[in-house]
Chain A
Amino acid sequence: MKFRKIFYSQKVAPYVFVVPFILSFFFFWVYPLITAFTMSFQDIGAITSEWIGFANYTKLLKDNVFHIAVMNSVKYMFFTLVLLIPFPMLFAVLMDSHLVKAKGVWKAILYMPALTSVVISGTLFRLMFTEYTTGQMNIISSFLGLGTYKWLKMGWSGMLALLIVACWRWTGVNMLYFLSGLKSIDTALYEAADIDGASGWQKFRYVTLPLLKPTTVYVLTISVYAGLSMFLESYMLWAGNSSPNNIGLTIVGYLYKRGIEKNDMGYACAVGVVLLVVALIINFVQLIFNGTFKKEEQ
């Protein structure tokens, strides 16, 4: 009887429902997080490990390759934000308007890349960007009279290749986020704006944009994480974790290189902790700047 009472209790029920999440959160997130944090203070050998204090972190400070990886990841994150927020938003607004016919087809086309394995698409992009004359990018650039390039050997073009892959892959996904955001805006507001004689731009500027803000903040937040944790695209584009002059090396790529390829788990954990801290700082600043916490308080 007592059991039944507990079982049907409205107070207990929510906890029962969230238990699977809490458990998986602790086993698969919190526990590895704490372990990784402690491992970052160790030199992990094949047979034994020893505590070495902050040695991994002091080495990171001097490690030029790590600095390059951080710069690459931050640059990549910045450019993906610049490209993957305004354009998908624009596409979503267009898709929501009466200007576009056969919306379902367009949505499917834009969403398709997200379903394609990066392993396959990355390999295809690598072949497209090959420096050999038969690569599609070189065929196009030669056709335009610009000659051929060693696309994956120069800093700017390497980043461009990564961004093209990112845009190809994520435009459709972000567009869907914005579309769902647009659906939640009350059409009465547009009608009211029409009555007031607002132009298309004014409706976008004063109705759509402010009311889309929660969606924008969400997309921004996940994009910051996605940008900083990018790895597979670069790994596939350069057929491995080594790009010329490390132009394609990312923080996670460096973590993988240290932890898996060089079997130096302690140092890799230190890289991971730094990545966590960088991601947290950027996102907290961004969220505070966007007033996310302030709103909750009101």
Chain B
Amino acid sequence: MKKKLLSALLCTSMAASLFVGCGGAASEGGVDPDAAEATEEEAAEETAEAEAVTNTFGDPNGTHLEMWTFVELHGQHYGVMAEEWNKQHPDNTIEITCTTYPYGDMHTKLLTALEAGTGAPDICDVEVGQFPNVVEGLDQWLVPLNDYAKDYLDTMVTSRMETYQGEDGNYYGAPYHVGATVMYYNVAAMSEAMGLSQEDVIAKIDAVKTWDDYAKLGEEYVGAVNEEGKYWTSVDTGGTDWLWLAMAENGDDWTGGFDNPANVELDSVKTMLEMQQSWLKSGLAEISPDGHVDLEAGFQNIMDHNIVSFPKAMWYMSRFTNYMPEESGNWYIAKCPVFKAGQKCSVGIGGTGTVVTQQSANKELAAEFTCWAKMSAEGEQHIWDTLGFDVCNSALWGDDAFAHDDNNQYNKFFINYPYDVLNDIGMDNIGKISVVSISPTINEYICTTTLNEVLEDPDYSVADALKEAQDAVDMEQ
């Protein structure tokens, strides 16, 4: 009988080890929990980094600051800025240690440290999709940046500052970029297929104002190329970029702020999905291989010229230079088409807000440095040169030395100057979709279920799919 009890105990302990082991297994797999979400900015870079990388910059005798990020280049940006800061402030120098962790690990570590009240760094990058989690702790966890950002606020794109606002209206994160969505067109492939000069193709692209115009040009291209496997564009089952664009153009937002109950059954979303279904049926569009264009298969698809146009945020420029260098000189950047004239034609997608934690021993210095490194002219110049982001300091957009610098790798890569497009769009035409605590749930349901239902089966009722999504979201709010 005793033995029976013993074996029962052993069995329980094994089960217990399984139960406790869950946590262990979970922390091992911290590569990229959100790679499937196209709203994530750094998906491809995260997967490349599997281990923590630590770099220390600045003056060893200066005030020491600890900084965490999930993209090594971000850390190096702070390193360069720290050296520059020390030059400008010889009596108040800093030394900064930047540690790069894999995406998932870093956010988990940060949240755990904030909850535990100890162990958090002075400064930390937080991806926009994860921001609702850290901003939940508001001023108990994070330092409000209002006072330190006030010198830059009149030139910063407001919607981007609002992205990192807390419920109390304070700014808790400093943005890297606007993430303005634009249209990328492969002019070289189009001119070859359509037998037109590149100038003629560009004129045709510039004439596209509405989605109808866009589809018409697409039909012309697909008719000219007339080859199986060649499409005008690809639609995403693993990302919500197209839907965000549709919402921004129509002035919709499925959460609309902190207090509103989420509503995913929006006409703008429905119209966009039905339009995509019709493109899939007519052979104008294919489904992006593996779900969206920001993955290995997506890059290959673009390089094989299977698609020649797609909307994506401006930060996608770095994907071209990093993963598709042979495409140099082929691509043209243009404004996104709209449903009706007069609508906004862009939306800010993705982003990283840099926060200063209350656990920092040098909060003021950390906050001042962070805001300066990310919002000052010097900081923005470095962000554009190395990271290729559309910076939030809109005063620089029209600065010739900044926007038309022919040594800049992105200016060299594309047919036109990216900042010309940004100026053409204008700060007021870049919409904003709120990221609040229910947002990850919505995003996830749409990406795993809704988009697969309606795009993999173009006869599936969009209204039914959105109703299902709404029911799932309602369960969580």
Interface residues of A (CB under 8 A from B): 25, 28-30, 32-33, 36, 45-47, 59, 62-65, 119, 123, 127, 130-132, 134-135, 152-153, 221, 225, 228-229, 231-232, 235-236, 238-246, 252, 255-256, 259-263, 272-273, 275-276, 279-280, 283-284, 287, 292-293, 296-297
Report B217 CB to chain A, min CB distance, Å: 26
Contacting residue for A262 out of B3, B29, B37, B441, CB 8 A? B441
Instruction: Decide if A28 touches B20 in the complex (CB within 8 Å).
Output: yes
> A252–B26 contact, CB under 8 A?
yes
Assess the A279–B289 pair: CB atoms within 8 A: no
The distance in angstroms between the C-alpha atoms of A86 and B114, with both chains bound, is 49
With an 8 A cutoff between CB atoms, is B459 at the interface?
no
Which residues in B have their C-beta under 8 angstroms from that of A229? 18, 21-22, 25
Pick from B26, B300, B448: contact of A246, CB under 8 Å: B448
Across the interface, do A252 and B25 meet the contact criterion of CB distance under 8 Å?
A: yes
Contact, CB under 8 Å: B20 / A29? yes
List B residues 1-29 near A (Cβ within 8 Å). Answer: 1, 3-4, 7-8, 11-23, 25-26, 28-29
B440 at the interface (CB under 8 A from A): yes
Secondary structure call for the A interface: helix
Asked if A276 contacts B449 (CB within 8 A), the reply is no
Q: CB < 8 Å: which of A225, A242, A259, A263 contacts B447?
A: A242
**Among the listed B13, B34, B475, which residue makes an inter-chain contact with A29, where contact means beta carbons less than 8 Å apart?**
B13
B297 touches A225 (CB 8 A): no
- Are the CB atoms of A239 and B475 closer together than 8 Å? no
Does B289 lie within 8 Å of A130, measured CB to CB? yes
Q: Whole-angstrom distance between the alpha carbons of A24 and B35 in the complex?
A: 36
A225 in complex: contacting residue of B3, B14, B300, B301, CB < 8 Å: B14
* Distance between A129 CB and nearest chain B CB, rounded to angstroms: 10
Query: B456: CB under 8 A from chain A?
Result: yes
Chain A residues, CB < 8 A from B29? 119, 231-232, 235-236, 256
B424 at interface by CB-CB < 8 Å: no
Contact B4 A297 (CB under 8 A): yes
B97 is an interface residue with CB less than 8 A from chain A: no
Report yes or no: A119 in contact with B31, Cβ–Cβ below 8 A: yes
Task: Please report which residues of chain B, range 186-201, place their CB below 8 angstroms from some CB of chain A when the two chains form the complex.
Answer: none
Residues of A within 8 A of B14 (CB): 221, 225
Chain B: CB-nearest residue to A231: B25
Of B133-141, B151-159, B337-345, the stretch lying at the interface with chain A is B133-141
The one of B3, B26, B441, B472 that contacts A256, using a Cβ cutoff of 8 Å: B26
For the complex, what is the distance from the CA of A216 to the CA of B459, rounded to whole Å?
49
Contacts A131-B289, A225-B15: A153 and B300 contacting too (C-beta < 8 A)? no
In the assembled complex, the CB of A130 is this many whole angstroms from the nearest CB of chain B, namely: 5
* Contact between B289 and A293, CB atoms less than 8 A apart: no
Closest 5 CB pairs of A and B: A132-B297, A46-B136, A296-B3, A239-B35, A132-B289
CA distance A132 to B50 in the complex (A): 25
* Pairwise interchain contact A240-B33, C-beta atoms closer than 8 A: yes
Name the residue on A nearest B296 (C-beta).
A127
Least distance between A165 CB and chain B CB atoms (Å):
14
Complex-state Cα separation, A123 to B35, whole angstroms = 13
Q: What residues of chain A lie closer than 8 Å to B11, measured between beta carbons?
A: 221, 280, 283-284, 287
Contact in complex: A261, B22 (CB < 8 Å):
no
Contact A33 B20 (CB under 8 A): yes
A262 to B19, CA, bound (A): 19
Given known pairs A240-B32, A280-B11, the reply for A46 and B16 (CB within 8 Å) is no
B448 and A243 within 8 A (CB): yes
Question: Could you list 5 examples of A-B contacts with CB < 8 Å?
Answer: A25-B13, A36-B20, A245-B452, A287-B7, A293-B4
Nearest CB in chain B to that of A29: its residue: B16
Known contacts A242-B444, A244-B237; A225 and B26 CB within 8 A of each other: no
- The answer for the CA separation of A297 and B8 in the assembled complex, in Å, is 13
* Residue interface mask B103-146, A partner, CB < 8 A = 1: 01000100100110000000000000000010011001100000
Q: Is residue B243 contacting chain A, with contact meaning CB distance below 8 A? A: no
Taking CB as reference atom, which chain A residue is nearest B237? A244
Q: Which of B31, B136, B300 contacts A132 (CB 8 A)?
A: B300
How many whole Å from A279's CB to the nearest CB in chain B? 5
Residues of B within 8 A of A132 (CB): 289-290, 297, 300-301
Candidates A62, A221, A232, A240; contact of B34 at CB < 8 Å: A240
Is B237 a contact of A261 with CB atoms below 8 Å? no
Known contacts A30-B16, A131-B289, A272 near B22 by CB under 8 Å: yes
Residues B20 and A32 in contact, CB atoms below 8 Å apart = yes
Across the interface, name the chain A residue whose C-beta is closest to B291: A244
Q: Mark B221-251, 1 if CB is under 8 A from A, else 0.
A: 0000000000000000110000000000000
**Which of B14, B23, B290 has the most chain A CB atoms closer than 10 A to its own CB?**
B290
Interface check B183, CB cutoff 8 A: no
In the assembled complex, B65 has its CB within 8 A of some CB on chain A: no
- Does chain A have a CB within 8 A of B47? yes
> Which residue of chain A is the closest to B1 with respect to CB atoms?
A297
Q: How far is the CA of A228 from the CA of B17 in the complex (A)?
A: 13
Q: Which of B162-191 contact A (CB under 8 A)?
A: none
**A36-B20, A135-B297 given; 17 more Cβ-contact pairs under 8 Å:** A28-B20, A29-B13, A45-B136, A229-B22, A229-B25, A236-B29, A242-B444, A243-B36, A244-B238, A244-B456, A245-B448, A246-B449, A256-B29, A263-B111, A272-B22, A275-B18, A296-B4
- Cβ of B133: which chain A residues have Cβ within 8 Å of it? 46, 263
With a CB–CB cut-off of 8 A, which chain B residues contact A263? 111, 133, 136
B421 interface residue per 8 A CB criterion? no
Flag if A260 contacts B25 (CB, 8 Å). no
> In the complex, which residue of chain B has the Cβ closest to the Cβ of A129?
B290
A28 to B111, alpha carbons, bound, how many Å? 22
Tell whether B365 is near chain A: CB-to-CB under 8 Å.
Answer: no
- Asked if B295 is at the interface of the complex by the 8 Å CB criterion, the answer is yes
Residues of A within 8 A of B440 (CB): 261-262
**Bound CA–CA A236/B35 (angstroms):** 11
> Which residues in chain B, 443-477, are within 8 Å of chain A measured between CB atoms?
444, 447-449, 452-453, 456, 472, 475
